[in-house]
A and B are shown apart, each in its own frame.
Chain A
Amino acid sequence: MYNFEFTKPTSIADAVAALADEDAQALGGGQTLIPTMKQRLAMPGTLVSLTGIAEMKGVCRDGDSLAIGGATTHATVAAEAGDYPGLAAMAAHIGDPAVRNRGTIGGSLANNDPSACYPCAALASGATIVTNTREIAADDYFQGLFTTALEEGEIIINVKFPIPEKSNYQKFVQPASRFALVGVMVAKYADGVRVAVTGASEEGVFRWTAAEEALSANFSADAIAGLSVDADGMIGDLHGTPEYRAHLIGVMTKRAVAAAA
């Protein structure tokens, strides 16, 4: 790994100032960035660790929403997001326990890996990503593989998840990486159902709007029995063909609806 300067500010203002340097990069829990740096696929001049900022940690109920600090670990969300059980269960199955003790929600959302779980949960929940400068709706935030609406030096302070009436996340795990081969999050709100899919599309996480319409009219697995996803634009690799992934989206969505609580 190339060498770099390491800094660990304790306030958002100090972190933003440190990230003003064009060679600086934010570091969450490092569970993706450190392996990437070991492969010399990233070479920041300065790494700004965000895990020392107390005001960016923790889970807090705010009316009908759950606000989760950007530097909160998956393990903490799994333990403390009980007001939104579908989200807590999703966080409890990311990676493995040691990874969950380091990896953060902000890191996952900023990276926007096409197979990551958090982008799926944020999009299915219609979450709001709160940065140091603005609030971004999940529908506007995810912009393709490893691409988000974040500007250089912009950091995720907190993420607000509206709490659904019912929800569930189903992940078909790629056994070597433990990432989702296909993951589907279903969230039922008073004004309709949202369905987000990760792992499947070459464009990253997306909403399956046909399923949303069918499930908003009738929230049961039978309601989407006749629907299918076009394999065009789905990922094809040694783990599965585009057709296989497209088929799995339907299967995992039905399972998520059946399990939603």
Chain B
Amino acid sequence: MTSISMTVNGKPASGEVEGRTLLVQFLREDLRLTGTHVGCDTSQCGACVVHVNGEAVKACTMFAADADGADVRTIEGMANADGSLGTIQQAFQDHHGLQCGFCTPGMVMSAAALLKDNPKPTEAEIREYLEGNICRCTGYHNIIKAIQAASGQLTAVAAE
């Protein structure tokens, strides 16, 4: 067992992990942050996307011990300080960017990573960026709309 410590959603977190403990297991099973989902466990689906030192990564394909000392952000860290939904989360609700909701944590984390680097992405750029996030409900249209709205580019649709 190895002792690890990291910052998760702005708060210190630590624990004892095996070498093989995945970051997503540490988040879900040790820290009980179950918003990060495991869809495929093969790094295809993106339901487990979190930010490590500001970059989107698949938490099912990174060892917890490799995140020792890192600054980690999960879907639980995306709400506003008062508990209300953050801009991207609110846009997903407003534009029906989810149905079953299983992929949504990863979608929101990927969207946040995209908008950090590219605050006004085109539709094509959004679709390309979401290549590693799979949704089996929405057909993606409303997810794209939600991200366009979160980037302030969809005022006409928002007024519908």
Residues of A within 8 A of B (CB): 1-6, 8, 27, 30-31, 34-35, 37-38, 47, 49, 51, 75, 95-99, 101-102, 178
Q: How far is A238 from B125 in the complex, measured between Cα atoms in Å? A: 31
Chain A residue at minimal CB-CB distance from B50: A98
Indicate if the CB atoms of B56 and A8 lie closer than 8 Å. no
Q: List 24 A-B contacts (CB under 8 A).
A: A6-B2, A6-B19, A8-B66, A27-B66, A30-B63, A34-B61, A34-B62, A35-B61, A37-B20, A47-B19, A49-B65, A75-B55, A95-B132, A96-B133, A97-B131, A98-B43, A98-B57, A98-B110, A98-B132, A99-B58, A99-B61, A101-B52, A102-B58, A102-B62
CB contacts (< 8 Å) of A2 on chain B: these are 20
* Chain B interface size, under 10 / 10 to 19 / 20 to 34 / 35 or more: 20 to 34
Indicate if the CB atoms of A101 and B41 lie closer than 8 Å. no
B18 at interface by CB-CB < 8 Å? yes
B80 at interface by CB-CB < 8 Å? no
**Which of A8, A34, A38, A51 has the largest count of B CB atoms less than 10 A from its CB?**
A34
CB contacts (< 8 Å) of A8 on chain B: these are 65-66, 68
Shortest C-beta distance, B22 to chain A (Å), equals: 8
Task: Give the tally of cross-chain contacts (CB within 8 A).
Answer: 74
| Complex partner residue of B61 from A3, A51, A75, A102, CB under 8 angstroms | A102
Chain B residue at minimal CB-CB distance from A92: B128
Indicate if the CB atoms of A97 and B19 lie closer than 8 Å. no
Shortest C-beta distance, B21 to chain A (Å), equals: 9
A6-B65, A34-B63, A102-B57 in contact; A97/B20 too (CB < 8 A)? no
A96-B131, A96-B132, A99-B132 in contact; A38/B46 too (CB < 8 A)? no
Chain A residue at minimal CB-CB distance from B64: A6
CB contacts (< 8 Å) of B133 on chain A: these are 96
Indicate if the CB atoms of A6 and B110 lie closer than 8 Å. no
CB contacts (< 8 Å) of A31 on chain B: these are 43, 61
| Complex partner residue of A3 from B19, B41, B46, B52, CB under 8 angstroms | B19
